[in-house]
Every structure is written in C-alpha cells, then in structure tokens.
C-alpha cells in the first residue's frame, strides 16, 4: 500500500491548512498509511508531526517574520500575500529519509521551506495548489490578463510600471525555474486554477488533475435553522446574510468594497436583514451599511461553523478572484445557498439559480439582486438549499475525493519508478 506524507505549513487556521488536514483525516479514515508534517500544529491532533522543541518553534516564527520583512522591500501595488521562501531547512532531508512513498505538498508560504528544498525532495511529489503561488513569482494571487507575468515569464521588461525596489517576484520565479527541474504532479481544487497552471510559463507541461477539497459531510450537514439560531443567539425572525471576514479593505481580491456597495443597494428592498460576520471581531470602525451586524469573531471549530451555515439564509462570497473557497462548499454541504460572482473558481461551487446565484462579475447591483432573490421566497430558498446539499454529497465527500487522490498518488509513484536512476540524483542547492 502506498504511504503518503502530507506536508503543509499548518493543520489549522487558514483555509488551505484546514483543507490539507481534512484530506489527511480522510485518508486515515480510509485506512491509508498517511502521515502529516507541519511547521505549526494547531489542531491538537497528536498524530500530526510538528516542530516540538521550543527553539525550533521560535526559529519557525523568525522564518515567517523574515519573509514578511523581505517582501516590504518590493513595492508593486499588489497587496496580497507574497512569499519568497529563501531560508533553507532540514525538511527535504527528513522527507527523503522517511518512509513515505509519495509526498503531497500543500500550502508552503511564509518560509515554510525554501524553493530549493522543494526541488531537493527525491520522493515522487504531488502538489495540491490552494492559490497561484507555485507558478507565480512571490505573489499568492495576481492578475490573470493575457500579459500576466506568470503566463509569459518574469523578465526585466515586463515589470509593472508602478513598481519600485528589488524585483523579488522575478527573482523568486527564476529560483523556481532553476530548482524545479523535474515536473511534479499538480492537483488543483478548481478547473479554473488548473487552467492557470496549463497556461503558466513555469508549469505548462506538468501533469495536472482537478480534485476538490474534501469535506466531512457528516459534520457539515443541514440542521434545523431555528435550533441553530437559538444556540448562537441569533434572531429567529430575520433574514440572515452570512459573510466571511470582511476586514482589511485593502485586499481587493476578496471584494470588500463590492460587498459594501451591494448591501447598500438593498437599503430599499424592505427585506428584514441581519448581517452575520465570522472570522473577525468587530473592528474599531465598523462598515457603514444599512443593516445591523453581528460579529462572531474567529471560529476554529467545525461544529460552530456548521451551526452558522445552518442559521443563515444565504452565504455571500464577493471575491474578485478565488480558487474553490471552503466557505462556499461548507455552506452548500449545510444546505445554505451561496451568492457570488460568476468568475474564476466560484461557478464550480454555485450552479446559477440551482444552488444559489451567480452575479455578473463585479456588478454590485446584480450581487444585491441575487441576495434578494435567494432570501426573498422561502420555497425558493429551501429548494436551493436542498440542491446545494445534493451537490456537496456528490462532489466533495470523502467517498468521492479520497479515491481520486489515491489514483494520483499511484500515478506519481509509477511515473517516478519509470524514470532513469540518474534523474533521481540529489541536486546541489543553487540559491
């Protein structure tokens, strides 16, 4: 039986880390020999291999902060997270000495391991992408136009005109091109991200498979709406519109500004709306929208998340660009319709007017129209929710996702065994 080691920055906190941990649990539940290795263990699961010594934990924190300070030297108008991943580690050596037959990389930002370390892994590698970082420079998300640097290659002549300081994006991309000489098998949760990989200068000829993130559909399932509201102390007689964290308005990709405009458009709708926001506490200056807001703070446990989705009439995801956000798949699994823009990976969650509503990209009036349509009629809302649940069970349950991953793991192992022995020789670090 193939032995798997899942490598991720963490096993909790962010969506990518939670996705990696859920896959790990799904593999173990299917009696697959799986291990998980992380820089920062947040789940409390003792079976996850993590940095345990105090000095190593401090070093991990220093690595992350160093990466943040480094990226401040570059200024290019892209406010999204950047990771240069320069600092070396012992992870590649530990992986090569371990028992795993296949290594499944997940999110590695924040100096989890260096670019050269990734290239020094001798085991067959499957890499699950949760954003665009692997085929970009240091950016985790960036534009998708025909002249995007990740499509054409990063050179001195195509740097954005508003940039200053060192071109760390170009330097990072060049290091990837030098270090990653053997194609890895890429997995993307969405067809949109797979298409990006196939059109990237760095990975266009690498194998790519689309496999959505796994969900525990026994945890995320429809619950009685009034019961959920009672437990969470939410009003029983209002239309609850649920958002993920909307703080940090500087991140245009998440659509904070579009969300506010849409909610303002609903001021004259005569809908008795209450907004519920999870993922952050109430900010010092709350957004100015014509509806009351309840701030639920950061929620790290799945049972409470399931209650939130169960309490909501609709989940709104106003992103300009997104992969396959788990807030959408989780909501659908709980029978909660989703309203989003018809762009990037979001149409792979929402079937228009079947499980929710897809607004014309970035048209806030249409986003508002979709919210009003989903919550305005109880029969429509219930029908959408039932279809959403059926889609979640069919596509995102462990019984669908785990076998697909096993096929990819076996393909990666078979392809590695067929390679000439000389191609497996340890590379000399060039960073």
Domain of 204, CATH number, reads 3.40.50.2000
Q: What is this structure's pTM?
A: 0.92
Same domain, 404 and 367: no
Same domain, 51 and 174: yes
Same domain, 261 and 280: yes
Same domain, 18 and 80: yes
Which residues of 244-337 form beta strands (DSSP E)?
273-277, 293-295, 314-317
Same domain, 278 and 302: yes
- Tell me the pLDDT tens digit for each residue of 6-38: 999 999 888 899 999 999 999 999 999 999 999
Same domain, 404 and 307: no
- Tell me the pLDDT tens digit for each residue of 154-193: 999 999 888 888 999 999 999 999 999 999 999 999 999 9
pLDDT at residue 164, rounded to an integer: 82
Question: Is residue 67 over pLDDT 90?
Answer: no
What is d(CA 364, CA 341) in angstroms, rounded to the nearest whole number? 9
Same domain, 209 and 260: no
Same domain, 208 and 236: no
Question: Is residue 275 over pLDDT 70?
Answer: yes
Domain of residue 154: give its range.
4-214+397-424
Same domain, 389 and 335: yes
Same domain, 97 and 159: yes
> How many domains does one find in the chain?
2
Which residues of 215-336 form beta strands (DSSP E)?
239-243, 273-277, 293-295, 314-317
- Tell me the pLDDT tens digit for each residue of 388-426: 999 999 999 999 999 999 999 999 999 988 876 555 544
Does 364 fall in a domain?
A: yes
Same domain, 243 and 300: yes
Same domain, 76 and 193: yes
Long-range contacts of 111-114 (CB under 8 A, 24+ apart): 111/63, 111/64, 111/66, 111/67, 111/83, 111/84, 111/85, 111/86, 111/87, 112/8, 112/9, 112/39, 112/63, 112/85, 113/7, 113/85, 113/89, 114/85, 114/86, 114/87, 114/88, 114/89, 114/431
Does 184 fall in a domain?
A: yes
Mean pLDDT, rounded, of the chain: 91
């Amino acid at each position: 039986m193939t032995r798997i080691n899942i490598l991720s920055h963490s096993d909790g906190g962010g969506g990518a880390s939670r996705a990696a941990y859920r896959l790990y649990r799904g593999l173990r539940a299917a009696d697959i020999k799986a291990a998980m290795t992380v820089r920062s263990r947040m789940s409390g699961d003792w079976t996850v291999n993590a940095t345990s010594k105090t000095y190593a934990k401090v070093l991990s924190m220093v690595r992350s902060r160093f990466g943040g300070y480094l990226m401040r030297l570059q200024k290019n108008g892209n406010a999204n997270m950047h990771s240069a991943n320069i600092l070396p580690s012992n992870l590649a050596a530990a992986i090569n000495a371990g028992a795993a037959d296949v290594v499944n990389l997940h999110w590695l930002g924040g100096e989890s391991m260096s670019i050269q370390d990734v290239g020094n892994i001798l085991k067959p590698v499957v890499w699950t992408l949760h954003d665009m970082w692997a085929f970009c420079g240091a950016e985790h998300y960036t534009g998708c136009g025909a002249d995007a640097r990740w499509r054409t290659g990063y050179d001195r002549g195509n740097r954005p005109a508003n940039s200053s300081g060192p071109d760390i994006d170009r330097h990072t991309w060049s290091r990837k091109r030098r270090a990653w000489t053997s194609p890895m098998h890429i997995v993307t949760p969405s067809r949109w991200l797979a298409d990006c990989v196939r059109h990237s200068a760095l990975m266009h000829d690498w194998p790519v498979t689309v496999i959505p993130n796994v969900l525990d559909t026994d945890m995320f399932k429809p619950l009685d709406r009034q019961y959920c509201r009672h437990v969470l102390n939410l009003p029983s007689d209002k239309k609850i519109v649920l958002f993920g964290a909307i703080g940090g308005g500087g991140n245009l990709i998440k659509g904070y500004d579009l969300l506010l405009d849409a909610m303002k458009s609903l001021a004259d709708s005569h809908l008795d709306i209450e907004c519920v926001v999870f993922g952050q506490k109430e900010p010092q200056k709350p957004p100015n929208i014509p509806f009351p807001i309840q701030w639920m703070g950061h929620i790290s446990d799945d049972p409470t998340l399931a209650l939130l989705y169960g309490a909501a009439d609709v989940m709104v995801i106003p992103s300009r660009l997104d992969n396959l956000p788990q807030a959408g798949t989780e909501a659908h699994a709980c029978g909660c319709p989703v309203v989003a823009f018809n762009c990037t990976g979001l149409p792979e969650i929402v079937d228009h007017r079947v499980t929710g509503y897809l607004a014309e990209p970035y048209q806030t009036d249409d986003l508002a129209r979709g919210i009003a349509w989903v919550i305005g009629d109880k029969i429509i809302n219930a029908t959408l929710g039932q279809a959403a649940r059926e889609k979640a069970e069919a596509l995102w349950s462990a019984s669908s996702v785990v076998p697909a991953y096993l096929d990819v793991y076996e393909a990666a192992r078979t392809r590695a065994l067929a390679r000439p022995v000389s191609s497996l020789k340890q590379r000399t670090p060039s960073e």
